[in-house]
Amino acid sequence: MELYNSLSRKKEVFKENVPGKVSMYTCGPTVYHFAHIGNLRSYIMEDVLEKYLRYSGYDVKRVMNITDVGHLEHDADDGEDKIAKKARLDQLEPMEVVQHYLLRYHKAMEKLNVLPPSIEPHASGHIIEQIEFVKKILEAGYAYESEGSVYFDVEKYNKDFNYGKLSGRNIDELLETTRELDGQSEKRRSADFALWKKAAPEHIMHWPSPWSEGFPGWHLECSAMGTKYLGDTFDIHGGGMDLMFPHHEAEIAQSCAALGHESVKYWMHNNMITINGQKMGKSLGNFITLDELFTGENAVLEQAYTPMTIRFFILQAHYRSTLDFSNEALQAAEKGLKRILQAAKDVKGLKVSAASAEVAKEVADLKENGCYKIENDELEKIKEQVLNIL
């Protein structure tokens, strides 16, 4: 089997680390709102890959994180935690928000026939592991403490490794344009990213650490939990292309800094889903959740679609191509799926006709006699019989 590795930008023959076993890490949801169709493509691509690997005889261990802390607004280092903000707005405990959306996420995945992962670790349940990971990066000299927070030193790291090799970003340019910080920031460069953040007094999710009462940076959980459950080197890491930078680039940097080598052998990224040719976004008014797709309750939708129609629609395109979502495309997928299911049913009910049985016997006789040479008139006879059957 060959896999396209986003890191080398080419197809590579798949060779597992431990014979017969595949270790796979896939980035999971940040559970502060309903899952939407933009997220869905990764889950379906990874599910098909996992099922194919199992079908091919591998034991697959797949780990998918649940982000329930540390993912700040706009994927940045500043701003409110997405879960904490939702909890504040809805006047709930952060863990009530997590529970609410996680249950709905699980239900939707079951409807879509997506296998649950082998392990589904929560970021908030692995604070100790994340703190230990930060310590390793600090000891290796690729991070610095500032005002109770710890930041990854991108410039220092880039001297020994290559920051930007996954996403193709030009790090010199990035460092050059971000050199002049306003002096207000705790960070040395704006390209640096948080490993640990000191919590502001009003921040409701925080834990003790050697540096401050605070919370982990978003990228850290995947490095810490991936290596905890899959080992220092594992086979496949999957996710959407939108996660390549900064999330996966930061994951590579954290693991290389802490362990001295890469953790992941094959990086796989799926392309995005657009809606009527447009990027999907809450502000664009074309944001569709999975539950809305199943019920049809969204102004963009002309009807409800079954989970299998949606799954079939997503699988019609190559996972690395963009896929445009529209009612017409979904309705075509609905028809296509019906045709396939009907054909599968019809095939089961088909009886072997006398004529086709005769052709089969003739072919078997010819094979048995070791004679594949068919005289012209015989060939004509067989052709005629085949045409009759058709």
Give the binding site for Zn ion (CB under 5 A).
27, 222
**Nearest residue (CB) to Zn ion, 66 versus 112:** 66
**Nearest residue (CB) to Zn ion, 47 versus 251:** 251
Name 71's Cβ contacts closer than 8 Å, sequence gap at least 6.
30, 32, 81, 82, 83, 218
**Nearest residue (CB) to Zn ion, 49 versus 275:** 49
**Nearest residue (CB) to Zn ion, 164 versus 309:** 164
Residue 222 beta carbon to Zn ion: minimum distance, rounded to whole angstroms: 3
Write the single-letter amino acid at 298: N
What's the CA angle centered on 224, arms 209 and 16, to 5 degrees? 170
**DSSP secondary structure string for all residues of 292-335:** HHHHT-STT-SS---HHHHHHHHHTS-TTS-EEE-HHHHHHHHH
**Nearest residue (CB) to Zn ion, 222 versus 257:** 222
Residue 34 is inside which H or E element, if any? none
Residue 170 beta carbon to Zn ion: minimum distance, rounded to whole angstroms: 23
CA distance 260 to 383: 67
**Nearest residue (CB) to Zn ion, 241 versus 359:** 241
CA distance 258 to 108: 36
Cα–Cα nearest to 36, from 273, 234, 221: 273
**Nearest residue (CB) to Zn ion, 199 versus 222:** 222
Residue 367 beta carbon to Zn ion: minimum distance, rounded to whole angstroms: 55
Q: What 3-state DSSP class applies to 54?
A: helix
Residue 157 beta carbon to Zn ion: minimum distance, rounded to whole angstroms: 19
Residue 64 beta carbon to Zn ion: minimum distance, rounded to whole angstroms: 9
**Nearest residue (CB) to Zn ion, 27 versus 150:** 27
Residue 91 beta carbon to Zn ion: minimum distance, rounded to whole angstroms: 29
Residue 9 beta carbon to Zn ion: minimum distance, rounded to whole angstroms: 21
Backbone angles phi, psi at 169, to 5 degrees: -70, 145
**Nearest residue (CB) to Zn ion, 121 versus 214:** 121
Cα–Cα nearest to 67, from 37, 26, 108, 38: 26
Residue 339 beta carbon to Zn ion: minimum distance, rounded to whole angstroms: 38
Burial of 155 (0-12, 13-18, 19+ CB in 10 A): middle
What's the CA angle centered on 286, arms 300 and 246, to 5 degrees? 150
What are 178's two structure tokens? 């971000």
Residue 27 beta carbon to Zn ion: minimum distance, rounded to whole angstroms: 3
Whether the Cβ atoms of residue 314 and residue 40 lie closer than 8 Å to each other = yes
CA distance 94 to 200: 16
